[in-house]
């Protein structure tokens, strides 16, 4: 079985790691030879967002790097679609695996389906209900062309059933749970972030902003002011800046000099980020992945959006949706400070929701089914 894994953004590198390990283990234990090839679209190309992750997570080096780079959604997706199609025709994989909800995800799925290669979507079925999010359109389109849909949660299974995709769907749990539960042990022992930022034993928050909607002329100044006000609730606030966010700050708030408690830095490696997530008193973020990682580690989270794909974290009491207005965000911070469930309770609830760290093994076991005669179920009701 030749598996082509299509990735392009740092959350996808994290999700790839447990699946890569599981494919290798299944080949050793089950006797089916498996050749794994990684195609990096180059959507994230900065070393802090790409190369360092491959090294730290011990990922297979990409067989192909398209170097797609940045650009408008149409321009970027088009470059990737053409490049992936060429690679598929050359390498002839038995199955393609795509992850998440980025332009790389959509391009990989479309390229595979157009050349007739079975394609599986890891993290299928998530819906925020906000079709203005480019990620929402990517999710929906990808799910409707893929042959195998690996759903991370029961809510995702229900979404796919409502859209007529039940026969292609398998609940497997969430590979991010695999990655976090595997990675946090090393992060606690080997991470450098707590000492680097002098927050070991202190009450600090971790905050991130990266979505396009968060970096507009209207939204970004509000969010920066909101973070500064929220920082007053903590001894410190660590803010790793995505390249898009750093550029937007230079454009819209070049004079920004944050409160001394707000410490900005470059994007962090996965190990250091996990160490901070695990030790933080709270997370404030617009990132879907960070909401989920915080939940898995039992860290309360305030989401700087009005909706989330990860409804389980809200239902469990560990996540509050606050938008970008300071009053609502501060109310959410104060509410979680007083009412969030204990850390271990949240972590246990998350593990139960997301498959107890066994998602990747379920995916590795299911992938050979994509190659079976009749496995193409695009016409299923």
> How is 333-353 classified by DSSP, letter by letter?
HHHHHHHPPPHHHHHHHHHHH
Quote the CA–CA distance of 197 and 107 in Å, as a whole number. 39
State the Rg of the chain over Cα. Answer: 20
SS3 41: coil
**Nearest Cα residue to 53 out of 174, 241, 140, 183:** 183
Both tokens of 187, joined, read 């992060």
End-to-end, the C-alpha distance of the chain in Å comes to 28
Marked catalytic residue, from 44, 210, 242, 270: 210
**Nearest Cα residue to 151 out of 166, 137, 170, 168:** 170
What's the CA angle centered on 365, arms 363 and 369, to 5 degrees? 95
Looking at the DSSP assignment, which residues form a beta bridge with residue 240? Answer: 265
CA atoms within 13 A on the CB side of 204: 25
CA atoms within 13 A on the CB side of 116: 4
Long-range contacts of 79-83 (CB under 8 A, 24+ apart): 80/8, 80/41, 80/43, 80/104, 80/107, 80/108, 80/111, 81/107, 81/110, 81/111, 83/41
Both tokens of 366, joined, read 């299911």
DSSP-assigned letter for residue 188: H
Determine whether 255 is an active site residue. Answer: no
With residue 151 as reference, give the H or E element that holds it: strand 148-151
What are the catalytic residues?
210
């Amino acid at each position: 079985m030749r598996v082509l894994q299509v990735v392009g953004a740092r959350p996808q590198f994290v999700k790839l790691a447990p699946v890569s390990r599981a494919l290798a283990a299944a080949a050793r234990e089950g006797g089916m030879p498996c050749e794994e090839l990684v195609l990096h679209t180059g959507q994230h190309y900065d070393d802090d967002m790409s190369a360092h992750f491959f090294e730290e997570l011990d990922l297979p080096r990409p067989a192909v790097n398209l170097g797609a780079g940045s650009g408008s959604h149409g321009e970027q997706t088009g470059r990737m679609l053409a490049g992936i199609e060429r690679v598929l025709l050359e390498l002839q994989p038995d199955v393609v695996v795509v992850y998440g909800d980025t332009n790389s995800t959509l391009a990989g799925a479309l390229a595979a389906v157009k050349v007739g290669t079975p394609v599986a979507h890891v993290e299928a079925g998530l819906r925020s209900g906000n079709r203005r999010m480019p990620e929402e359109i990517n999710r929906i389109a990808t799910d409707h062309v893929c042959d195998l849909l690996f759903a991370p949660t029961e809510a995702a299974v229900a979404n796919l059933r409502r859209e007529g995709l039940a026969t292609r769907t398998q609940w497997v749990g969430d590979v991010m749970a695999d990655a976090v539960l595997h990675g946090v042990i090393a992060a606690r022992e080997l991470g450098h972030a707590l000492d680097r930022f002098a927050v070991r034993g202190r009450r600090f928050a971790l905050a991130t902003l990266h979505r396009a909607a968060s970096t507009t002329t209207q939204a970004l100044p509000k969010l920066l002011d909101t973070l500064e006000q929220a920082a007053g609730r903590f001894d410190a606030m660590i803010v790793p800046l995505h390249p898009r966010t750093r550029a937007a700050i230079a454009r819209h708030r070049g004079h920004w000099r944050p409160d001394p408690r707000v410490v900005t830095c470059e994007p962090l490696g996965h190990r250091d980020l996990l160490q901070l997530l695990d030790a933080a008193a709270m997370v404030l973020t617009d990132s879907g992945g960070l909401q989920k990682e915080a939940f898995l580690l039992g860290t309360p989270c305030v989401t700087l959006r009005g909706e989330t794909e990860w409804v389980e974290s809200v239902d469990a009491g560990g996540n509050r949706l606050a938008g970008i207005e300071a009053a609502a965000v501060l109310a959410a911070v104060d509410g979680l400070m007083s009412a969030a469930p204990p850390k271990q309770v949240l972590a246990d609830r998350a593990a139960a929701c997301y498959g107890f760290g066994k998602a990747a093994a379920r995916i590795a076991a299911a992938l050979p089914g994509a190659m079976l005669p009749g496995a193409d179920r695009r016409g299923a009701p």
